[in-house]
């Protein structure tokens, strides 16, 4: 998920062709309204969005292998906030600072997970608890094998525990059982954590951080090559003050401490 980086699309197709690309239409509109204001133009850009294949912007057409149902790029923006000072440095200094930051963060995460006693990661456990509280409103009816019909008033969904599927698609998309599936799991007295996707468990976290970012010597000990040194581009003084913080959009919530 990215913003105004046109070169990433062809790069993804060439290097990692199976990666999911998604467009946050509201984010696109926030960029559009910097130059084009008015309610009529807002309606038109939302109509234009329907010309983009739905698999890029609509949850009902998202694929299931990424186990991610989000449309925002908050992770990228959080990382950009961390390196906001480094981004103004020369290219080699910037990359070295980023490498050191990642090296320290990986060590901290690796040490922290060894003291964690649970199997499901904390944020996922919190989401699971919230969905479990919503499952109380749904009544499961066993049909055959592992299939259930779940009802709440006039709303109905079909759940297949063996296939880890629900007709609401939230379970397949996120890898976390939805309230409809949780009602069936509780009805049968099964272990809820065993139905959470393995990518949210401690073993996956350990595997993610098992590699080591190795230390690097200073520039004086770097190997000299036959190529010319990479020089920075000519400096151009901006016509306006450099913006370091992201501008809040109309959908962002006010968060004050």
Instruction: Please check the confidence at residue 231 and state whether its pLDDT lies above 80.
Output: no
Structural domain contains residue 115: no
Structural domain contains residue 130: yes
Q: What angle do CA 91, 95, 97 make, to 5 degrees?
A: 120
For residue range 125-145, list pLDDT tens digits in order: 999 999 999 999 999 999 888
Torsion angle, CA of 93/99/103/106, rounded to 10 degrees? 140
Q: Please state the domain count of the chain.
A: 2
**Mean pLDDT value of segment 203-222:** 91
Structural domain contains residue 10: yes
User: What would the 3-class secondary structure string for the chain be?
Assistant: CCCCCCCHHHHHHHHCCCCCCCCCHHHHHHHHCCCCCCHHHHHHHHHHHCCCCHHHCCHHHCCCCCCCCCCCCHHHHHHHHHCCCHHHCCHHHHHHHHHHHHHHHHHHHHHHHHCCCCCECHHHHHHHHHHHHHHHHCEEEEEECCEEEEEECCEEEEEECCCCEECCCHHHHHCCCCHHHHHHHHHHCCCCHHHCCHHHEHHHHHHHCCCCCCCCCCHHHCCCCCCCCCCCCCCCCCCCCCCCCCCCCCCCCCCCC
Structural domain contains residue 159: yes
Tokens of 167: 């007709």
pTM of the model: 0.73
Structural domain contains residue 249: no
For residue range 57-96, list pLDDT tens digits in order: 777 778 787 887 777 777 778 888 899 889 888 888 999 9
Average pLDDT, the chain: 84
Among 63, 90, 107, give the residue marking a domain's end.
63
pLDDT band at 43 (very low <50, low <70, confident <90, very high): confident
26 contacts 251 by C-beta, under 8 angstroms: yes
- Residue indicated by tokens 């000072």: 85
Compute the distance between CA of residue 143 and CA of residue 134 in angstroms, rounded to an integer: 22
Structural domain contains residue 86: no
- What pLDDT was estimated at residue 133? 95
Whole-angstrom CA distances from 79 to 8, 75, 85, 193, 251 are 17, 6, 12, 30, 21
Phi first, then psi, for residue 136 (nearest 5°) are -65, -25
- What pLDDT was estimated at residue 25? 74
Structural domain contains residue 129: yes
Among 30, 46, 63, give the residue marking a domain's end.
63
Range of the domain at 5: 1-63
Taking residue 150's Cβ as centre, other Cβ atoms within 10 Å add up to 25
Q: Name the residue with higher pLDDT: 16 or 105.
A: 105
Instruction: Please check the confidence at residue 204 and state whether its pLDDT lies above 90.
Output: yes
Instruction: Please check the confidence at residue 1 and state whether its pLDDT lies above 50.
Output: no
DSSP 8-state assignment for residue 257: -
Structural domain contains residue 189: yes
């Amino acid at each position: 998920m990215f913003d105004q980086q046109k070169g990433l699309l062809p790069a993804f197709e060439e290097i990692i062709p199976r990666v999911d690309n998604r467009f946050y239409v509201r984010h696109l509109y926030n960029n559009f309204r910097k130059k084009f204001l008015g309610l009529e133009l807002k309606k038109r850009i939302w109509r234009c969005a329907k010309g983009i294949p739905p698999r890029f912007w609509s949850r009902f057409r998202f694929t299931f292998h990424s186990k991610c149902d989000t449309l925002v790029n908050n992770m990228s923006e959080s990382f950009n906030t961390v390196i906001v000072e480094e981004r103004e440095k020369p290219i080699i200094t910037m990359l070295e600072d980023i490498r050191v930051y990642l090296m320290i963060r990986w060590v901290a995460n690796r040490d922290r997970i060894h003291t964690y006693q649970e199997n499901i990661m904390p944020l996922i456990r919190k989401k699971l608890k919230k969905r479990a509280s919503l499952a109380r409103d749904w009544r499961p009816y066993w049909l055959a094998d592992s299939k259930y019909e779940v009802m709440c008033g006039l709303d109905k969904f079909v759940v297949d525990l063996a296939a880890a599927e629900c007709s609401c698609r939230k379970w397949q998309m996120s890898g976390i059982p939805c309230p409809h599936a949780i009602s069936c799991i509780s009805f049968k007295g099964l272990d809820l954590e065993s139905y959470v996707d393995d990518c949210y468990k401690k073993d996956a976290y350990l595997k993610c951080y098992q590699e080591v970012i190795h230390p690097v010597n200073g520039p004086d000990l770097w190997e000299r090559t036959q190529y010319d040194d990479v020089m920075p581009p000519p400096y151009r003084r901006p016509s306006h003050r450099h913006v370091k913080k992201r501008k809040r959009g109309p959908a962002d919530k006010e968060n004050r401490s």
